[in-house]
Chain A
Amino acid sequence: MNKTALAYVVSIATLLVAIWLGVSIGTVKIPIETLWNQSDATASNILWKIRMPRVLLAGIVGASLAISGAAFQGLLKNPLADPYTLGVSSGASVGAVITLFFGISLPVLGAFTLPVFSMMGAAITMFLVIGFARMVDRSMKMETIILTGIIFGSFLGSVLSLMIALTQEELRQIVGWLLGSVSMRGWNYILMVLPFFIIGTFMLWLNRRELNALLFGEERAHHLGVNVKQRKLMILLGGSVLTGSAVAVSGTIGFVGLVVPHMTRMLWGSDHRHVLPLSLCNGASLLIICDLVARTIISPAELPVGVITAFIGAPVFAYIFYKQRRKGAM
């Protein structure tokens, strides 16, 4: 079996195992047969109403962050880029925190006021960032995009800090949201995020060859026949849609978007035709496992999943990094 096929087998198997562990482990152990055997009504209820949507949401969020991280790193040719580099996530956070800070709850939206506001925040920020970057430099060079992202991100970050400083009773709620969580969301959240997930992923997938060409720089990509301006815009939009929607439903979960693409590249090379789908798979697995740990480690209480991602992810990353560099040195 060649390396690429192995990569897919390993990644998909890991994802399936993660889902299996995710739905079965918890305060109540649910045997896997419950999936097709509905004889135990309670177990079936817990699995379909609570565990499954939670696991799937964690999977979608993890997948969204990882694939957009992979695309941004490739596009910006910067290994430190992540889905949050563009500042879109800060926009989503401001939208969410405003909802919490003012206790807004719109009549039609109800409990969905927050994610909807958050998505709006993300969308507005995305258009502002891309618009501003184009205004500064019509060809939207990588440096321009990164700097614009930093400008908007830090400005919105200070707005967040301001609200946190002014808030009193909502503080815990805001901080909890910012740290990120996928608990108690239910199927509706999945339905809400799914279209964005599909559209965003598809937009990036369409640009997998272009991302490979862009790794050699914009000029080189241009020479190879890539319509750089158009493709760049498409990648930025696709990544932003994924990031914005993921942050809107789960908060700013760190680390997944930065590190999963790196791990994927280190293990299986940097061809975006494979980096994108593999990152998607591994991002989903990582967040499902992290969420499992977050809700079981100090059970019955729960930790925000964002705390766990780095807690588990960093050592795993360190290990792979070490192994790869040692291999390279010898």
Chain B
Amino acid sequence: MLQVDNLSGGYGREPIVRNVSFHVEKGEVLGILGPNGSGKSTLLKIISGILPKQSGRVMIAGKPSGAYTQKQFAQQVAVLPQLHAHAFSHSVKDTVALGRYPYQTGIFSSWSEFDEQAVQEAMNYTGVTRYENTAIELLSGGEQQRVFVAQALAQQAPILLLDEPTNHLDIAHQQQLLDTIRNQARQKGITVISVFHDINLAALYCDRLLLLKNGEVASIGVPQDVVLEQEIHHVYNARVKTQPHPEMPKPQMTLLPNLQEKVELFTVRKADITIKEDHVLLQSSQSLKTISSAVHNAGLGWYKTFVNRGVRADYMIDDVQRENTDYLRTLGYHLTDTVAMMTAVSPEHVEVEEYEGEFGSIVVAVTAGVGNAVDVSKSWQREDIPYIGTINTWVFINGELSEEAFVQALITATEAKVKALQDEQVKDPESGTVATGTSTDSMLIASTQQGEYLPYAGPITQLGKLIGKGVYDCTVRAIHSYRLAVGEHG
């Protein structure tokens, strides 16, 4: 649909955009990214004919852009500029109607049914019809930009160029505008090329990204291949980390600040874990990077307060989340700072131990109510409703873990737990075989992210060895403690 070959150009003699080539297919959304002054807007201006090109060519629908008259060009390419102020006012409808300019001919008005229809359709699509007769300067920035989107859509051009269209808009309007444009591209097969300031927005809404550095193409491809930590660091000279988007297979990046603040060193000790009336508690002075399958604040996050709450064995509540939240609130814990689990075991049966290694230490805490033990390899034969089971395992690590190490720590700790159950001959009462856990076990790995960097936590690493030993020991002791409490002997 649009092809750019070896394009160079800019304002003065020294070209700002140098030797840029790319093509965009019909219906595709291409995002142009790059640091300030990298030539993003200049590239767009050369394509739209505002700035002259020095060499190379721009092909639109198979013809060089210079072969079109101004009006013909506007029938092929519509442009949505950044939001800016105006000296005189137009009504919304008159503004949108200007999008039909390329189709107006003759000395007198040649406004046709078709023009009117295009304008109405564009206004409906962008939701500005109700402002039809309002002067645009009376609208908010977001609404004004919608009017200009309608103007560009009324132009009914197969190619749409956008120059940082979401500048000065709040996030709701950013989303609305980009949703509109993306949906138009899909429904009507409009080809979109847009300059973006925001890498995350670009990655979300574009099929492909073009990364510019000093006027040259640094990288072009699908967002996964362009939004790379190395690439962004190289082009923008900023420290970033990329992560997957939670709902879409698109990369998102986060800045890693370089702060001058003094980091206060701290460690988690055995003595930090205290036993309260109905829960086990750890309160850390600083946030710990945590991954867990807890009831409250499961998943990955940074937390300071850790609660393992003992409930009665017949605890059955429809809305566990809510009841538990109320519980935490009553105790005065900060909800966004707290990870909480539940167990049918009374808190005094927790087994806590600290283990020293070369890199530092880890603290393990386990409660093991094995009344509802399950052999996971046989559980497909069971049809009973799950009770609260509960071997709750906490591992606190004084060290800096990689993401990989967090996952390995989970595996290692789980393997140690299974081994403990096996050695203690905990049985699945249904199948009669050795259990591998209980019906609703939870696990938590938390680290200070200070001290030595620990890239791995497999069973033969320093850290893995401590976790294996610690979790095995504590689980075995916790099972003994539980058996004593319920009067079982094994």
Contacts and interface: CB of A to CB of B under 8 A. Distances in A.
Interface of A: 73-74, 77-79, 206, 209, 212-213, 215-217, 219-220, 222-227, 265, 269-271, 273
Given A225-B73, A225-B75, A265 B88 contact: yes
Contacts, number: 71
B94 A212 contact: yes
Contacts of A216: 86, 95, 98
A77 B88 CA distance: 8
B297 interface: no
B165 to A, nearest CB: 13
Given A222-B49, A224-B155, A270 B101 contact: no
B104 interface: yes
A213 B88 CA distance: 11
Contact of B70 (A77, A222, A270, A273): A222
A219 to B, nearest CB: 6
A79 B88 CA distance: 8
Contacts of B109: 273
Contacts of B107: 206
A271 B102 contact: no
15 contacts: A77-B87, A209-B104, A212-B90, A212-B94, A212-B98, A220-B81, A222-B48, A223-B77, A223-B79, A224-B151, A225-B73, A227-B69, A269-B135, A270-B89, A270-B90
Interface string B70-94: 1101110111010010111111001
Contact of B99 (A74, A78, A224, A226): A224
B50 interface: yes
B102 A224 contact: yes
Given A213-B98, A216-B98, A220-B81, A227 B70 contact: yes
**In the complex, which of the residues B49, B73, B98, B109 has the most CB atoms of chain A within 10 Å of its own CB atom?**
B98
B88 A225 contact: no
Pairs of residues from A and B, 4 with the lowest C-beta to C-beta distance, nearest first: A225-B74, A225-B102, A223-B79, A227-B70
A223 B48 contact: yes
Tell me what chain B mostly uses at the interface: helix, strand, loop, or mixed. mixed
A215 B86 contact: yes
Nearest to B102: A225
**In the complex, which of the residues B48, B90, B151, B155 has the most CB atoms of chain A within 10 Å of its own CB atom?**
B90
A213 B81 CA distance: 14
Given A215-B87, A270-B90, A223 B74 contact: yes
A213 B101 contact: yes
A79 B89 CA distance: 12
Given A212-B94, A219-B81, A224 B101 contact: yes
Interface in B79-137: 79, 81, 84, 86-91, 94-95, 98-99, 101-102, 104, 107, 109, 135
A220 B155 CA distance: 13
A38 B212 CA distance: 82
User: B interface, how many residues as a size bin?
Assistant: 20 to 34
Given A219-B81, A222-B70, 10 more contacts: A78-B87, A215-B88, A223-B79, A224-B102, A224-B151, A225-B70, A265-B88, A269-B135, A271-B91, A271-B94
B46 to A, nearest CB: 13
Contacts of A73: 88
Nearest to B48: A223
Contacts of A222: 48-50, 70
A130 B489 CA distance: 106
A223 B78 contact: yes
Nearest to A215: B88
Nearest to B75: A225
Contacts of A269: 89-91, 135
Contacts of A78: 87
Contacts of B87: 77-79, 215
Contacts of A224: 74, 98-99, 101-102, 151, 155
A219 B109 CA distance: 24
A213 B79 CA distance: 14
A270 B88 contact: yes
Interface in B16-44: none
A79 B155 CA distance: 29
A224 B89 CA distance: 18
Contacts of A223: 48, 50, 74, 77-79, 81
Nearest to A231: B70
Contacts of A215: 86-88, 90
A273 B90 CA distance: 12
Nearest to A225: B74
Nearest to B49: A222
A121 B74 CA distance: 40
Nearest to A229: B70
A329 to B, nearest CB: 12
Contacts of B50: 219, 222-223
A11 B344 CA distance: 88
A315 B87 CA distance: 24
Given A74-B88, A223-B48, A270-B88, A209 B94 contact: no
A78 B86 CA distance: 10
A215 B74 CA distance: 18
Contact of B90 (A225, A226, A271): A271
Contacts of A219: 50, 81
Contacts of A74: 88
B398 to A, nearest CB: 59
Nearest to A212: B98
A224 B86 CA distance: 16
A219 B148 CA distance: 14
A222 B70 CA distance: 8
A216 B87 CA distance: 8
A271 B109 CA distance: 14
Nearest to B135: A269
Contacts of A209: 98, 101, 104
A216 B104 CA distance: 18
A154 to B, nearest CB: 24
Interface in B362-421: none
A74 to B, nearest CB: 7
